[in-house]
């Protein structure tokens, strides 16, 4: 079940759900708007010839209250807010419609697991033919909160737990079993 503004406000007040720093205008009818931070990562293409799921990816760090993302470019960014979800709640991250209408696609793999704590890293893609100027502090995405039927047996404790700032892919740390040939 998607949570309403009244339920969100009650959970924030009780401390069961934590989103900080938060402004009054952030609470929407069925979500919380999150703002763009001032920390970014871009793939350091001059140090790699290919991105592999098995190797560490090199990133270049960018900081600033204003940053321009070129046309057809990919960039990692972070939210200003830090989020702490209880073990009985999950969330979807969706780009704001007004932002999508200028050609800026926002993703974070779309999902925040129960028990997650930290800032949310966003994957940004400029699908437009013009550069887009990003400004720290602007509402960029929304967190849609969902109540689970019961608390997770194994709340999130993965490699992105407690992340601050933009965090690059750590997929190379995954321990999947290799298929037998």
| 78-88 residue pLDDT tens | 999 999 999 99
pLDDT at 17 over 90: yes
Is 44 tagged catalytic? no
Question: Is the residue at 100 inside a domain?
Answer: yes
Domain enclosing residue 154, as ranges: 5-168
Q: Cis peptide leading into 21, omega within 30 of 0? A: yes
Asked if residue 11 belongs to a domain, the reply is yes
Q: How confident is the model at residue 181 (pLDDT cuts 50, 70, 90)?
A: very low
How sure is the predictor about 134, in pLDDT bands with cuts at 50, 70 and 90?
very high
Q: How many domains does the chain have?
A: 1
Over residues 142-174, the pLDDT tens digits come to 999 999 999 999 999 999 999 999 999 998 888
Kindly provide the residue ranges of all beta strands, DSSP E only, lying in 44-180, ordered along the sequence. Answer: 59-63, 66-69, 74-84, 89-95, 104-107, 117-126, 132-135, 139-147
CATH of the domain at 72: 2.70.40.10
**Choice among 16, 123, 135, 176 that is catalytic:** 123
Residue 54 included in any domain: yes
pTM of the model: 0.91
Question: Within a domain: residue 120?
Answer: yes
The pLDDT, as a whole number, for residue 35 is: 97
Confidence of residue 96 (pLDDT cuts 50, 70, 90): very high
Q: Are the beta carbons of 85 and 143 closer than 8 angstroms?
A: no
């Amino acid at each position: 079940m998607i949570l309403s503004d009244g339920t969100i406000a009650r959970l924030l007040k009780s401390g069961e759900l934590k989103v900080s720093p938060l402004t009054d205008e952030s609470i929407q009818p069925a979500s919380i708007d999150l703002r763009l931070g001032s920390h970014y990562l871009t793939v350091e293409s001059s140090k790699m010839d290919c991105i592999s799921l098995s190797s560490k990816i090199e990133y270049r760090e960018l900081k600033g209250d204003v940053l321009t993302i070129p046309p057809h470019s990919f960039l990692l960014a972070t939210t200003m807010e830090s989020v702490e979800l209880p073990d009985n709640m999950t969330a979807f991250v969706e780009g704001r419609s007004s932002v999508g209408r200028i050609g800026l696609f926002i993703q974070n793999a779309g999902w925040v697991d129960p028990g997650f704590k930290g800032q949310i890293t966003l994957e940004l893609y400029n699908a437009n033919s013009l550069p887009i100027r990003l400004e720290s502090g602007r509402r960029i995405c929304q967190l849609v909160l969902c109540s689970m039927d019961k608390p997770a047996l194994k709340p999130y404790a993965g490699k992105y737990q407690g992340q601050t700032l933009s965090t690059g892919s750590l997929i190379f740390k995954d321990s999947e079993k290799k298929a037998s040939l």
